[in-house]
Chain A
Amino acid sequence: MEFNELMPAIAGMTWQHLVMIAVGLTLIFLAVKKQYEPTLLLPMGFGAILVNFPFSAVLTQVQGGETIVGALNVLFDAGIATELFPLLIFIAIGAMIDFSPLFQRPSLLLFGAAAQFGIFITMILATLFGFDLKQAASIGIIGAADGPTSIIVANQFAKDLLPAISVAAYSYMALVPIIQPPVIKLLTSKKERQMHMKTNSNKKVSRTTLVLFPIVITILAGLIAPSSLALIGFLMFGNLIRECGVLNSLSQTAQKELANLVTILLGITIASTMTAERFVQLDTLMILGLGIFAFVFDTAGGVLFAKLMNKFLKPEKRINPMVGACGISAFPMSARVIHGMGLKEDPTNYLLMPAISTNVGGQIGSVIVGGLLLMLVPLFL
């Protein structure tokens, strides 16, 4: 009996497999030691190790003419190819979001649009690097800082790039405290960063309003952009469960058990695509680079839009430009980062409430952009 028959995994191991195992270990390190999005990076890291042994039983193998289906392939076909897992996550996220901060100053919702700027700039840049339109849109959506939306867009437009896009989206979400501050500091003066904002934090919102909000938004989204309805609809469904007041048990289940269960499956299932053959490519490095670019320009878009708005607002209504950077979907991390930066510049400057309002707007904005790309790109092909 020959060595490669006795030890097929060792005989079949290539340097690319070893690189991927190292990537898996790095993700686990980031999750455990640095606590960067551990709920996703840990399953993804472990999954990356699982799938990078030649003839790994977690992936479908053909042995002696017989096809043996791998568990991770089954999960991928059931949960990612059908988009079920990301949509279930949206129900959980919807159940976790409190939209009432938006009612305190609704104009901050506009930053949820301005801070999506990086998505489109990155899409343009990606075409310059040789990616086709669908691939470019999938890479741009990394800037949404919204993992499930990134997965849905990439799954429909560029399945081959899904592993790199998912890793970039979730890793950079965790790196918001590192990526955003230098960009903000570059674009703002100390005086601007010290700007105080008047908030209406005592404003209370009626239950009827909070119940009607997800219903009206879903109807409007369905009328204007039906292709975004899966994304927005599931998000708003989760929120309706939370706000209706008669489904507290379901709301708690969505926020905890559903979120936890699907997150475990989502992370390890995405890892099923992180095989050496698909991941160790120049494209992956380019996608990771373009992903950072998208985050930087999202932040810049929000900050610059705030500065533009301030030109037209009365002094007492002006917005601290740092708050504009919260228009991304990384909730509540981005709001916390901006609040921390505000306190650092001036210990009496509390930006948490406007930052949270803007961040909630960013969550809506990222989902809308995802839906828009799904609608627009096919029209241009």
Chain B
Amino acid sequence: MNLEFLYKALEISGIGIATVFIFMAIFYFVIVGIDKAFPYKDEKKK
């Protein structure tokens, strides 16, 4: 067992989990934003 790898894996995991949540939060706002900007009923009116 290599402790150096273990510590690095812990660091990568911390950063990785946080980043994937940030990504998803951004995508959430993208979805909400696009959906509000181009709602279905507007398209129907056209």
Contact = CB atoms under 8 A, between A and B. Distances in A.
**Do A and B associate with each other?**
yes
Interface of A: 102-103, 106-107, 109-110, 112-114, 116-117, 119-121, 123-124, 126-133, 136-137, 203-209, 212-213, 216-217, 220-221, 224-225, 361, 364-365, 368-369, 372-373, 376-377, 380
B43 A207 contact: yes
Given A121-B13, A130-B2, A365 B24 contact: yes
Contacts of B43: 206-208
A206 B39 contact: yes
22 contacts: A103-B35, A110-B21, A113-B17, A123-B9, A124-B6, A124-B13, A127-B6, A127-B9, A129-B1, A133-B9, A203-B40, A204-B40, A205-B35, A206-B43, A207-B43, A220-B30, A225-B19, A361-B24, A365-B20, A372-B19, A376-B16, A380-B8
Interface of B: 1-2, 5-6, 8-13, 15-17, 19-21, 23-28, 30-32, 34-35, 37-40, 42-43
B15 A376 contact: yes
Contacts of A132: 2, 5
Contact of B34 (A123, A131, A204, A209): A209
A240 B8 CA distance: 38
A225 B15 CA distance: 13
Contacts of B39: 206
A217 B27 contact: yes
Nearest to A106: B31
A94 to B, nearest CB: 15
Nearest to A366: B20
Q: Nearest 7 A-B pairs (CB), nearest first?
A: A120-B13, A208-B38, A127-B5, A204-B40, A106-B31, A113-B24, A206-B43
A130 B7 CA distance: 13
Given A132-B2, A209-B35, A377-B12, A110 B30 contact: no
Contact of B1 (A110, A113, A127, A365): A127
Contacts of B1: 127-130
A368 B16 CA distance: 10
B30 A120 contact: no
A206 B37 CA distance: 10
Contacts of B20: 113, 116, 365, 368-369, 372
A136 B11 CA distance: 13
Nearest to A327: B24
Contact of A213 (B28, B30, B42): B30
B24 A372 contact: no
Given A127-B1, A213-B31, A380-B11, A120 B16 contact: yes
Given A131-B5, A206-B43, 10 more contacts: A109-B31, A110-B21, A110-B24, A113-B20, A124-B6, A127-B6, A133-B9, A137-B12, A212-B34, A372-B20
Contacts of B40: 203-206, 209
